[in-house]
């Protein structure tokens, strides 16, 4: 079995450190990587009904670069 990729390791660290959802952590990691690799302006946007994990990641991790669209309030928050 191949070793886990850097993205998987960073996702696991976020999940363990913050107690957040694994899917949200992986989405944030992938969105940040896509934003940087493609030099997107504005950052890639993730739509969700539950912004709590994303907001916790933004305060706990340097380098998160994405936008979160809150489908309940219809607001967009820039992270990073």
- Domain for residue 70, yes or no? yes
CA distance 66 to 58: 9
Report the predicted TM-score, pTM, of the whole model to 2 decimal places.
0.83
In a domain, 10, yes or no: yes
Answer yes or no: is 40 within a domain.
yes
Whether 41 is in a domain gets the answer yes
- Mean pLDDT on 11-24: 89
In a domain, 15, yes or no: yes
The answer to whether position 1 is within a domain reads no
Please report where in the chains the tokens 């994405």 appear, as a residue.
66
Quote the mean pLDDT of the chain. 87
pLDDT digits (tens, 9 = 90+) for 20-46: 999 999 999 889 889 999 999 999 999
pLDDT(55) > 90: no
Residue 67 lies in a domain: yes
State how many domains the chain has.
Answer: 1
Q: Which long-range contacts (CB under 8 A, 24 or more apart) does 29-38 make?
A: 31/65, 31/66, 32/63, 32/64, 32/65, 32/66, 32/80, 33/7, 35/65, 35/66, 36/65
Q: Which domain holds residue 75?
A: 6-79
């Amino acid at each position: 079995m191949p070793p886990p990729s850097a993205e998987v390791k960073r996702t696991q660290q976020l999940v363990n450190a913050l107690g957040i959802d694994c899917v949200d952590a992986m989405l944030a990691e992938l969105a940040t990587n896509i934003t940087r690799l493609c030099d997107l302006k504005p950052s890639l946007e993730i739509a969700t009904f539950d912004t709590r994990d994303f907001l916790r990641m933004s305060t706990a991790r340097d380098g998160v670069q994405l936008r979160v669209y809150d489908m309940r309030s219809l607001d967009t928050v820039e992270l990073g």
